[in-house]
Amino acid sequence: MGKAYDELITIFTEISTVSSIQGLLYWDMNTYMPPSGINHRAKLFTHLSKEVHIMSTDKKIGELILSCENEDLDDFQKRNLELIKRSYDNNTILPVELVGQLASQSNKTLELWKKAKGENNFEMVQAEMEKLLALNIKRAEILAEAKGLDDPFEALLDNRDPGFTIELLDKWFNEVKEFLIPFVKQIQDAETQPDLSFLSRIVPYNTQVELVKDLATFLEYDHASDKAVGRIDEVEHPLTIPCGKNDVRITVNYQEDKVIRAFSAGAHEVGHALDRLQRNEEWDDFPVNMIGFPSFGESQSRFVENAICNSREFWNHYYSTFLKLTDGVFDDISLNDFHFAINAVTPGLIRTQADEVTYSLHIIIRYEIERDLFAGRLAIKDLPKEWILKYKEYLGVDVPSDTEGVMQDLHWYSQFWGYFYGYGIGDIISAQITNKLSQELPDWANNLEKGSFTPIREWLVENIHSLGAIHDTLGLVEAITGEPLTTKYFIEYLKTKYSKLYKL
């Protein structure tokens, strides 16, 4: 191992330490921080973001990268070097003042969004959102010029998921859209339909908290022992927040008439947490363990949420526990009726409440709007109208308010621009991985039905999580499944599962 390489890894570790502090502050801001603390917190984020940027763009890193060319590195070291160089190149493109402005503006916009959403007043946040978009477009234009790309939005895709292009995303999403829109209509016209009325029964807040904790324990996410690696808290918008090694925290939103929503959110976020926690311990502090790709990360959360916790095999085992933990609220509901109801296809307004059939249409709408915003074909002031039009066209639903429309997600009011596509790609990857799991571990569903998630989790560790970022997303998919990313398994999965449920 060379001296320059060793020094690079040391610097990377120092930068990661500051980033962990940011993660902890972000978790606190979303959970327990007093509302009046936002201005000071914005200052802290601005300071730390600038500090990370200064550390990440130090000329010494560039010099060390060049020095590494004269060192004899193995493939593992070369991959770490590649990831550091990629990050350095991306970071040195951006002026430090712009980085600070983005951090400050995103936090201000996020806090105002919370108020605007509560009051159903998009105009309240519109001006700040316009400032945030302008800063992100400026960032994207700088990146695009440096990368030799014509489209600024594509530069954001390249930053988050190298190898992804607008052309590829348009291809995959058009294939999915062409299947889904008529398939959803076919399902809606089916004679067999589930009874959904019981899903809105009241389950007390504390009961739901205990239910999510039990689910997390079943999925082997340790949030309670004296060696716990996580915890579960409440926020407006569920998310997973890595705060450091062996410290990955999940958050859930609870509503007493939406117990399945909290349950599904818990499963989703545990999927994210396991992905981060089950990396190869020998690679701790190296870029291959610390760096992740949004779309691949979503494949892990959606796998746990849908392939596992929406499966019949899971509920064959877990339903008796669910009935007990919910204090008999659903004792009169058969397993068949319950499973059909929680998998019902119900075109609706809210992405995080969407069933797995219509979910991708929610994502495609956001992707297309975001793509058009960066291309200048759409303005912030026109977002509510465009949102209404697309929801009617793709999902056949009317949007009654901006709170349930364009303000439902935090992403565009925070730092997550050029991000939504990953949720949809995550479903496509998840289906391809599930197909591979069935080939290599054909008894996985039977194990789940017997109450054991362990074989599945161990397969994930060995075949997926332990790989970290040793490849980029598309390379990971091919390394794990043996073939390039394709939509065919996702389409086949939905067609098979829901044709059976709805007797199509």
Q: Is 284 helix (H, G, I), strand (E, B) or coil?
A: coil
Integer angstrom CA distances of residue 14 from 27, 44, 342, 350: 20, 18, 45, 40
CA 74 – CA 63 distance, rounded (Å): 20
Q: Is 190 helix (H, G, I), strand (E, B) or coil?
A: coil
**Residue 79: partners with Cβ closer than 8 Å, 6 or more residues away:** 287, 288, 469, 470
| Strand ranges across the sheet with 232-234 | 232-234, 247-252, 240-244
> Percentage helix, strand, coil, to 5, in the chain?
70, 5, 30
Instruction: List the catalytic residue out of 111, 128, 154, 269.
Output: 269
Does residue 434 have a pLDDT over 80?
yes
List the domains of the chain with CATH numbers.
167-501 (1.10.1370.30)
The stretch 287-300 carries a mean pLDDT of 92
220 is catalytic: no
Summarize pLDDT for 70-129 with one digit per residue, the tens: 899 999 999 999 999 999 998 888 888 898 899 899 989 999 999 999 999 999 999 999
Does residue 312 have a pLDDT over 70?
yes
Query: What are 234's strand-pairing partners?
Result: 252
Amino acid 94: pLDDT: 86
Which residue is listed with tokens 């997600």? 409
φ, ψ dihedrals at 444, nearest 5°: -60, -40
Could you write out the DSSP letters of every residue in 378-390? S-GGGHHHHHHHH
Amino acid 440: pLDDT: 97
Surface-to-core class of residue 260, CB atoms within 10 Å of its CB (0-12 exposed, 13-18 middle, 19+ buried): middle
Cα 279 to its chain centre, rounded Å, is 18
Does residue 484 have a pLDDT over 90?
yes
Amino acid 1: pLDDT: 55
CA 90 – CA 270 distance, rounded (Å): 30
Summarize pLDDT for 222-274 with one digit per residue, the tens: 999 999 999 999 988 788 999 988 999 999 999 999 999 999 999 999 999 99
Sign of CA dihedral 422, 235, 277, 313: negative
Does residue 61 have a pLDDT over 70?
yes
Mean pLDDT for the chain?
94
pTM score above 0.95: no
